Amino acid sequence: MPNIATVLKDEILRLARKEARRQTDVLKRTSAQHRRDIAALKRQLAALQRKVSPLEKQVLKGPSAPAAEPKANGVRFTAKGLRSQRQRLGLSAANYGKLVGVTGQTIYSWEHETARPRRQQVARLAALRRLGKREAQLRLEQLTRRAGKKSR
């Protein structure tokens, strides 16, 4: 007959191994999941870096972006000049107003000298002086596309 102390010791060892295995299996699964998550994040980071790299090169290579609101120092406004500019571009008052960021009625009021543009608006008008017909049409199409996307 085996010694009771030996049997008890063997049973305690067996139970301890079983419990330790159960505890480490949970840790192994969790650790493996964390490794998979880290690998996925690394792949996502690499993909984003591949997308950003050409954009950085383009920004650094291209000309500096124009100021959001150019200053109107030294720029004069005349209703006749505005009317001739709009006619030169072949735009309606409404379309020209879209380029400036005002309504067509406002353009009409400026042309007929019932109102005067503010300093910021004079700066925008001055920036439009350098536009040609094609570029004005292109900007107008871009503005209408943006407006179409916003309304969706």
Distance CA 101, CA 69 (A): 12
* Same domain assignment for residues 56 and 87: no
Model pLDDT for residues 72-82, shown as the tens digit of each residue? 567 888 889 99
Check: CB of residue 74 under 8 Å from CB of residue 102: no
Percent of the chain exceeding pLDDT 70 equals: 90
**Structural tokens at position 125:** 């008008």
- Where among 31, 61, 91 does a domain terminate? 61
* Same domain assignment for residues 90 and 146: yes
* Same domain assignment for residues 30 and 84: no
Model pLDDT for residues 79-95, shown as the tens digit of each residue? 899 999 999 999 999 99
Q: How confident is the model at residue 29 (pLDDT cuts 50, 70, 90)?
A: very high
Domain range for 56: 1-61
Report the run of H or E that residue 104 belongs to, with start and end: helix 104-111
Max distance between CA atoms of the chain, in angstroms, equals 120
* Same domain assignment for residues 106 and 143: yes
Total domains, the chain: 2
Phi first, then psi: give them for residue 103, nearest 5 degrees: -85, 165
* CATH code where residue 99 lies: 1.10.260.40
Q: How confident is the model at residue 12 (pLDDT cuts 50, 70, 90)?
A: very high
State mean pLDDT over 47-70: 73
